[in-house]
Amino acid sequence: MVVPAFLKTLPRDLRFTARHINSLLTLRNIEKNGGSVGKSFDEYALKNPEKTAFLFQEEKWTFRQVFERSNKIANFFAATGIKKQDIVALFMDNRIEYICTWLGLSKIGAITALINFNLRSLPLKHSFQLSNSKAIVCGSELLSAVDEIYPGGTWTAPLYISGKGDKNVVRSAVDLDTAIQTISSNIPKEQENTTFQDGLFLMYTSGTTGLPKAAIIKHARFLMGGIAGRNANSIQEDDIIYTTLPLYHTNAGILGVSQTLICGTTLALRHKFSAKNFWSDCIQYKATAAQYMGETCRYLLRQPSTPDEKKHSVRLMFGNGLRAEIWEEFVKRFNIRQISEIYGSTEGNASCVNYTGTIGACGFVPLLLKRVFPLHIAKLDEKGNPKRDPKTGLLEICKAGEPGELLCEIVHNHPFRDFKGYSGDKTANEKKIVRDVLKKGDSMFRTGDLFVRDELGFLYFKDRMGDTFRWKGENVSTTEVEYVISNLTPKKYDVVVFGVKIPFSDGQAGMAVIADDDNTLDLAALTEGIKKSLPSYARPLFLRVVEEIEQTGIMKNFVSFGKGQKISSC
């Protein structure tokens, strides 16, 4: 007897439905009561002031300390004139003060632009300019990068410095740590006017083209990340989560931090990922859960076996990008009871999670709810655009096993399904929306990702579309890299950048093709320029010099190294 698919998935779908309804009801209750991230945090902190909130190196911060620091930040900036919806740029390495800073600013309704601390030169200056911020908070460890793009204090907003490093690099800046010492740690009165649907911070993403774009993250989105993440993964208050991922990204910055600020778990931070120290850190912090990105898992598997990799207490690892080919090996070697593979994007509304352990899947569409669950895979035409039925004009939706682009229905003011888009970029927003999908008048978010669904509703990521490649867990815009490299050449040569597969590595490494028709390219100078201008994950590992680049786009699909030169130092 053949068992129908919906009966096979019935336990899974019922469990999902219960957790989803619980998350929605919780969020709706917060919204009804005028909730915000700051209010939710304060409520928990006042009840549990001495509970450990964050661990970092040898530091241990309680909820009371975070409460007081964030309130001081809020009251200080309110006194300087920062008000609701004003933007403040935050450029700082991973540490506890980073979280306290944007949390404090959120309490007065300000929006924090979370600047990628790997950026330098043109992309960094572009990110600052895009934010149009009224103030800049910079970690002392990154002052030299700011001084490089704004020499001699030529920035357009007041600069505040936090940290133990050299604060005399820019003498007209304000030492923030000293300035807030005498400021009140009481809850700012402005917090009463901060609500569920207000902007919380800007997160930068490469999207599919161009320089970094700023995606608007609302309080609702952050709260959803905490509550839905807790329910999906059965995270408890007494859990300790270990993360090495950057706080300017969704994975750590929302899914990780929200578990502490909203749900009361303890978060252990590290400045940056270290494969060698990962499991010893987990033992030191007594971690019961940890975050990963695809390359994290592969790097850990490459390490020599040590006793620590089995002595830890980590039962859950959640993140994105764990490849099917190493999934079983990873779980078995490191004795991980649960892998929770997540799919989502910084700017998008499409998200799902696979907490069932199904190898390779990053989520599922419940068969019981497939008519109302708003994730769909659309067929594509030969140009990569959603394909329409010639009779109805609506999109053609893929059947099980057929690859296509993942879409998600846009529901305005919905905590899960709203799409606020990029800050100040209506053209880019419109490119991410497709209309008349299942019926006339509806609209859906285009993820730009190729997916396949199986008969049980599990979703499998296949590849990225558009002008991007993924390397070291980061999405890289090829047009951004092309622009930077072209400007580093003496005559702004034509440049084409694309991703190429590397054996035993996740994602694709960058290759740059440069048209040097007069043989004047200085490779040494170019390499130095690339090092200064691009973060490590965006630097092409391979370079090929040609006399001419055809303007047909064919080079975008070129994957042979031919006689190109490898620049390992990039």
Locate the domains of the chain by residue range.
34-272, 368-464, 468-566
3-state DSSP call for residue 204?
strand
Confidence of residue 560 (pLDDT cuts 50, 70, 90): very low
- Stretch 361-377: mean pLDDT: 88
Looking at 52-66, 192-206, 397-411, 487-501, which range is the least confident one? 487-501
Q: At residue 347, what is the residue type?
A: E
- Long-range contacts (CB closer than 8 Å, 24 or more residues apart) made by 60-67: 61/96, 63/264, 66/41, 66/96, 66/99, 66/100, 66/103, 67/41, 67/42, 67/185
Q: What is the pLDDT of residue 105?
A: 98
Class of domain 468-566: alpha beta
Interatomic CA distance for residues 341 and 93, integer angstroms? 26
Question: pLDDT (tens digit, 9 = 90+) per residue, 230-243?
Answer: 999 999 999 999 99
Which residue in 131, 147, 38, 151 sits closest to 89, CA to CA?
Answer: 131
H or E segment to which residue 274 belongs: none
Class of domain 368-464: mainly beta
* Whole-number average pLDDT of the chain: 90
The total of other beta-carbon atoms located within 10 Å of residue 411's CB is 15
Confidence of residue 391 (pLDDT cuts 50, 70, 90): very high
pLDDT at 206 exceeding the cut of 70 = no
Looking at 42-46, 142-146, 183-187, 553-557, which range is the least confident one? 553-557
Q: What is the pLDDT of residue 568?
A: 37
* One fold for 34-272 and 468-566: no
pLDDT at 101 exceeding the cut of 90 = yes
pLDDT at 260 exceeding the cut of 50 = yes
Q: What is the pLDDT of residue 517?
A: 79
Judged on CB neighbours under 10 Å (0-12, 13-18, 19+), 452 is: middle
Class of domain 34-272: alpha beta
Judged on CB neighbours under 10 Å (0-12, 13-18, 19+), 487 is: middle
| DSSP-based helix, strand, coil % in the chain, nearest 5 | 35, 25, 40
φ, ψ at 221 (rounded to 5°): -65, -45
- Stretch 431-448: mean pLDDT: 95
Which residue in 263, 285, 372, 360 sits closest to 321, CA to CA?
Answer: 360
Q: Which residue has the higher pLDDT, 153 or 486?
A: 486
Percent of the chain past pLDDT 70, that is, above it, reads 94
3-state DSSP call for residue 261?
helix
Question: pLDDT (tens digit, 9 = 90+) per residue, 125-152?
Answer: 999 999 999 999 999 999 999 988 988 7
Looking at 43-47, 76-80, 290-294, which range is the least confident one? 290-294
pLDDT at 554 exceeding the cut of 50 = no
Looking at 60-69, 90-99, 104-113, 207-216, which range is the least confident one? 207-216
Q: What is the pLDDT of residue 372?
A: 72
Question: pLDDT (tens digit, 9 = 90+) per residue, 514-523?
Answer: 988 778 888 8
The total of other beta-carbon atoms located within 10 Å of residue 50's CB is 8
Question: pLDDT (tens digit, 9 = 90+) per residue, 323-358?
Answer: 888 899 999 999 999 999 999 988 889 999 999 999
φ, ψ at 66 (rounded to 5°): -65, -40
Which residue in 540, 548, 564, 383 sits closest to 477, CA to CA?
Answer: 540
- Stretch 490-515: mean pLDDT: 86
Q: What is the pLDDT of residue 332?
A: 97
Q: What is the pLDDT of residue 369?
A: 79
Residues in contact with 410: Cβ distance below 8 Å, sequence separation at least 6, in sequence order: 349, 417, 418, 419, 433, 443, 444, 445
3-state DSSP call for residue 303?
coil
Interatomic CA distance for residues 279 and 312, integer angstroms? 7
